[in-house]
Chain A
Amino acid sequence: MAISFEIPEFVQQMAQMAGFMAQTYMRPYARQLDENEHERPKAFVEAMWPILRDQQKATLEKLTAPPANGGDKGGEPKKKRPGTRNLQLMLMIEQLAWGDAGVYLCLPSAGLGGFAIEAVGTTEQKLRLLTRFAEGDQPVWGAMAITEPGAGSDNSSIATTAVFDEEHNQWVINGEKIFITSGKLALEESNGLVIVWATVNKAAGRAGIKPFVVEAGTPGVSIGKVEIKHGIRASDTVSIVFNDARIPADNILGSPEVQASSEDKGFKGAMATFDASRPIVAASALGVGRAALEFVKEKLAENGVEIPYTLPYHKLTAVQRDVLEMEAQWKAAYLLTLRSIAMLDEGLHNSLEASMAKVKAAKACAWIAQKAVEMLGMMGYSREWLVEKWMRDSKIAEIYEGTNQINTLIVARRVLDYSRRELA
């Protein structure tokens, strides 16, 4: 390998395509969907479903195709060349979040649930559970339920239980999950599914926590609160209550070895999905940050303020300094995100880099959006423009997929080579 920042042509084209979708199906509706909080982004969902459905279909076909046709089934596993799958996703999400960070979360797809199924599911489970995201005219959503009222960053203290009922060969789930993105879309508004992290043995701590698949239409599952939020208002955020919810025995996710493991392999599976999802949260932050930065530069240019890249610091105005700092911060965040994504595509372990990217991108872009509001004065604060919305939207990236504090803790443990016990 050699150090390179070259985005392959076809990936650039794909990103441009996503940019077109953002401009056409997101921006024009952004204000309306923010004001009417629980209205669904119909135009966006209808436009994206056929694309995402066919992508999922192609992924599943690869699972069953013999290796001669580029599939994974049978034979010796071939040595994998670095792909671009995560790079494509990163750039697509960056573009879509530029369009609208709340609407992007309504992407009709397996979503974070899909990440978990990909990370720990068996081939049989992948085919059985993901096929619904690969067929039909009606959009389908997947979701992930980890957080509970008493278990936020400390998700090892999950209290939702799963008890095996041998007589009926079913798992019985009880408890409450909160802050589930697209939970209502997955369970009530489509034939989707939610990955629910529950404990089979509270005394075992993290080792007792396993992922379960709860499908739409399961009796005993109900949507509780529909959250009213600071930003990303177009996104569906709900709580789910499980009251003796019964699911099939083989809806515990993963190989029998993982399922039966007395070590925390299942839990580590959940953590592994963060290595893929945190860079994506970083990418979404970058999209919002770029929206704010581009807008500020556009308005400044209209007012005759140009941004130079050759003047010494003492010759810059305060406004120019601010914009240059915003640009440098954005670029740093972009490059950290790109690195964590490239490592994922190369099959390298990226936990440290994923958390670094998430912390940096979330912080930098929230700051950029806040700065943009400030710089545009009364118009920045006005709901006439989208800048104030971007500021509200940007904040969530510092909170979900692990707060910036928890991700900083992860970075700290890694750089200090400390265990969870040594650095709590």
Chain B
Amino acid sequence: MVSFTPTEEQQLLLDTIRRYAVNDVRAAAHEADESGQIPPELTRTGWQIGLVPSAIPEELGGFGEMSALTGVLAAEELAFGDLAVALQVLSPALLAYPVSLYGTAEQRENLLPAFLEEQFIPATAALLEPGISFDPFDLQTVAAADNGKICLNGSKAYVPLAEDARMMLVYARNAESGDVDAYIVEKGAAGVQIEKREQLMGLRALPTYRVHFVNVEIEAAARLGGAVGSDFNVLLNRSQVALAALAVGVARAAFEYARDYAKQRVQFGKPIAQNQSIAFMLAEMAIEIDSARLLAWEAAWKLDRGEDATREAYLAKQYADKMVLQVADNGVQILGGYGFIREYPVERWLRNGRGFPTFTGMAIV
């Protein structure tokens, strides 16, 4: 039966995240963006909402409720608070979810219980590569078999929390099969060179790094899923859907801020929202945000049913990329001169929103 109403459990979760996003995240987001630091306390509070632990299988102590649909609902709400904070709080999922989905029994037992702790455990994944023509299906990072071990070579970019991460999931082309596989690399592995923090237009509060792998030798058992491997298509689809939902959250933040501003900003004796030129922009923004949200929901719903969601995830991501840029740009425009001032959050949402076509693989549901 067709319905657009979340379950009661999902609604409760959304209410919790909303409180965190509006009360905690919004209060800290400007300072975090200016200083480049997310307060550890803020990350901890976000972590303790329990999104990642709830997705960990029951036999390992989690709630076993990994759902892409719940994931997109949560992602939108978190990004409504702030995108950098959302990506930081969710970054352990970049490792935990693929391990939950495809890990061998041993990998799951070894790696997942850490994420059940109350303390935030930094973990991450490395997919994106430096350059202007990145293609996730044509990776330059290569994993080659070498005397019963695996040798990784290549460079990655935009790796969140790489410096602190206890574990990193590295996507690389399997030199034998040509397929994309994921490899678990522990902190401090020899040959992993982490450059200094990247300087980006947006996401200034989130530490991201370029990481080089120079003859990094890992055990054969470090390949995600062992001999069976993993399904990169599905992982990429889950990532695209997560990013689409995060884009919806950023866009909604810009829309709601611009809407409220337009209602209180008086020019020529009336609120500017009473001009059709402004009111119609806001109406269009609302329609486009809902469009992108429903595309993300449908793709997530298909993923949860175990169906191939490649087309849905691709279209949702493509749509959301354009939508968030347009909506955030309109947000800045509606604020006029104030839109350009960093004291107001809308320009930050435009900077953050601009990055979505680039952020491949930086989040997952």
Enumerate B300-356 residues with CB–CB distance to A below 8 Å: 301-302, 310-312, 314-316, 318-319
Roughly how many angstroms separate A163 CA and B330 CA in the complex, as a whole number? 51
Q: Does B4 contact A (CB under 8 A)?
A: yes
User: How many Å from the CB of A115 to the closest CB on chain B?
Assistant: 21
Q: Does B284 contact A (CB under 8 A)?
A: yes
Beta-carbon contact of B273 and A356 below 8 Å: no
Q: Which residue of chain A has the shortest Cβ distance to B294 in the bound complex? A: A335
User: Which residue of the partner chain, among B4, B233, B318, contacts A313 with CB atoms under 8 Å?
Assistant: B318
User: How many Å from the CB of A325 to the closest CB on chain B?
Assistant: 8
User: Which residue of the partner chain, among A310, A314, A415, A423, contacts B310 with CB atoms under 8 Å?
Assistant: A310
User: How many Å from the CB of B358 to the closest CB on chain A?
Assistant: 10
| A332/B6 contact (C-beta < 8 A), A3-B69, A408-B284, A412-B283 known | no
User: How many Å from the CB of A385 to the closest CB on chain B?
Assistant: 26
Q: Does B63 contact A (CB under 8 A)?
A: no
Enumerate A380-424 residues with CB–CB distance to B below 8 Å: 408-409, 411-413, 415-416, 418, 422-423
User: Which residue of the partner chain, among A84, A332, A342, A423, contacts B4 with CB atoms under 8 Å?
Assistant: A342
Beta-carbon contact of A360 and B287 below 8 Å: yes
- Tell which of B75-83, B134-142, B217-225 binds the partner: B134-142
Beta-carbon contact of B135 and A309 below 8 Å: no
Beta-carbon contact of A422 and B286 below 8 Å: no
Q: How many residues of B contact A (CB 8 A)?
A: 48
Q: Does B295 contact A (CB under 8 A)?
A: yes
Roughly how many angstroms separate A157 CA and B233 CA in the complex, as a whole number? 58
User: Which residue of the partner chain, among A310, A360, A415, contacts B259 with CB atoms under 8 Å?
Assistant: A415
Beta-carbon contact of B286 and A356 below 8 Å: yes
Beta-carbon contact of B311 and A309 below 8 Å: yes
Q: Is the interface of A mostly helix, strand, loop or mixed?
A: helix
Q: Does A331 contact B (CB under 8 A)?
A: yes
Q: Does B297 contact A (CB under 8 A)?
A: yes
User: Which residue of the partner chain, among B5, B136, B298, B319, contacts A5 with CB atoms under 8 Å?
Assistant: B298
Find chain B residues with CB under 8 A from A328 CB.
Answer: 295, 315-316, 318-319
Find chain B residues with CB under 8 A from A313 CB.
Answer: 318, 357
Beta-carbon contact of B135 and A315 below 8 Å: yes
User: Which residue of the partner chain, among A312, A336, A342, A408, contacts B290 with CB atoms under 8 Å?
Assistant: A336
Q: Does B35 contact A (CB under 8 A)?
A: no
Interface readout for A309-330 with B: 1 if CB under 8 Å, 0 if not? 1111111000000001101100
| A4/B274 contact (C-beta < 8 A), A82-B3, A342-B2 known | no
Counting contact residues on chain A (CB < 8 A from B), the size range is: 35 or more
Beta-carbon contact of B318 and A408 below 8 Å: no
Beta-carbon contact of A312 and B301 below 8 Å: no
Find chain A residues with CB under 8 A from B282 CB.
Answer: 412, 415-416
| A1/B291 contact (C-beta < 8 A), A87-B2, A312-B135, A412-B280 known | no
| A415/B283 contact (C-beta < 8 A), A3-B5, A313-B357 known | yes
Find chain A residues with CB under 8 A from B29 CB.
Answer: none
Q: Is the interface of B mostly helix, strand, loop or mixed?
A: helix
User: Which residue of the partner chain, among B284, B286, B292, B302, contacts A332 with CB atoms under 8 Å?
Assistant: B292
| A408/B283 contact (C-beta < 8 A), A2-B6, A328-B319, A415-B259 known | yes
User: How many Å from the CB of B326 to the closest CB on chain A?
Assistant: 13
Roughly how many angstroms separate A415 CA and B279 CA in the complex, as a whole number? 9
Roughly how many angstroms separate A412 CA and B183 CA in the complex, as a whole number? 50
Find chain A residues with CB under 8 A from B276 CB.
Answer: 409, 412, 423
| A4/B291 contact (C-beta < 8 A), A328-B315, A412-B276 known | no
Roughly how many angstroms separate A43 CA and B295 CA in the complex, as a whole number? 38
Beta-carbon contact of A327 and B294 below 8 Å: no
User: How many Å from the CB of B171 to the closest CB on chain A?
Assistant: 15
User: Which residue of the partner chain, among A2, A5, A6, contacts B7 with CB atoms under 8 Å?
Assistant: A2
Beta-carbon contact of A324 and B315 below 8 Å: yes
User: Which residue of the partner chain, among B134, B287, B319, contacts A356 with CB atoms under 8 Å?
Assistant: B287
Closest 8 CB pairs of A and B: A332-B291, A335-B294, A412-B279, A412-B283, A1-B5, A411-B283, A309-B314, A328-B315
Footprint of A on B, CB under 8 Å?
Answer: 1-7, 10, 69, 132-137, 233, 259, 262-263, 273-274, 276, 279-280, 282-284, 286-287, 290-292, 294-295, 297-298, 301-302, 310-312, 314-316, 318-319, 357, 360
26 residue pairs A–B, Cβ–Cβ below 8 Å? A3-B5, A3-B6, A4-B301, A5-B297, A87-B2, A309-B315, A310-B310, A311-B135, A312-B134, A312-B136, A328-B295, A328-B319, A331-B298, A332-B291, A335-B295, A336-B294, A338-B2, A339-B4, A345-B2, A346-B3, A346-B5, A411-B287, A412-B276, A415-B259, A416-B282, A423-B273
